[in-house]
Amino acid sequence: AQTVTQSQPEMSVQEAETVTLSCTYDTSENNYYLFWYKQPPSRQMILVIRQEAYKQQNATENRFSVNFQKAAKSFSLKISDSQLGDTAMYFCAFKGTYKYIFGTGTRLKVLA
C-alpha cells in the first residue's frame, strides 16, 4: 500500500529564518508526482510546489524548494526567509497511478 508520512506534527521558526519540513513515502511505482500543499486558517488548499519523480532536479518556487531523494523515498520542503504569512498547515501528497494520498500534515508557526 502507498503511504505518506510526515513525522513532525508541529514546528515553529523565527521570521526570516529557514525551516525544513520532512516527508517520506512508500510506493512500488516508478512514475509518480509529489506535492506540498499549504492550508492556511482559511482552509483553502494551496499548491506550494510539485515534483515529477522522473526529474532528478529538485523543484524550486521562489522561497520554497524541495530535497527529493527518490531512492530514499524522501521529499522534504525547505522554506527560506520565512514570513508570517507562511504560518499554516502543510501537507505532503503523493500521486501515482490512482488517487492522491496525503500525509497527516505539519503545523508550521512563524514567530515574529
- Site string (33-62) toward other proteins, x via CB under 8 A: x---x----xxxxxx--x------------
Gap between the Cα atoms of 111 and 50, Å rounded: 26
User: Closest separation between CB of residue 100 and other proteins, Å?
Assistant: 7
94 binds other proteins (CB under 8 A): no
DSSP code, position 85: G
- Closer CB to other proteins, residue 50 or residue 78? 50
Per DSSP, the three-state class of 88 is: strand
CA-CA-CA-CA dihedral for 70, 5, 82, 63, to nearest 10: 30
Handedness of CA 89, 85, 76, 37 (dihedral sign): positive
105 binds other proteins (CB under 8 A): yes
Stretch that binds other proteins, among 11-19, 55-63, 66-74, 93-101 (CB under 8 A): 93-101
- Closer CB to other proteins, residue 39 or residue 80? 39
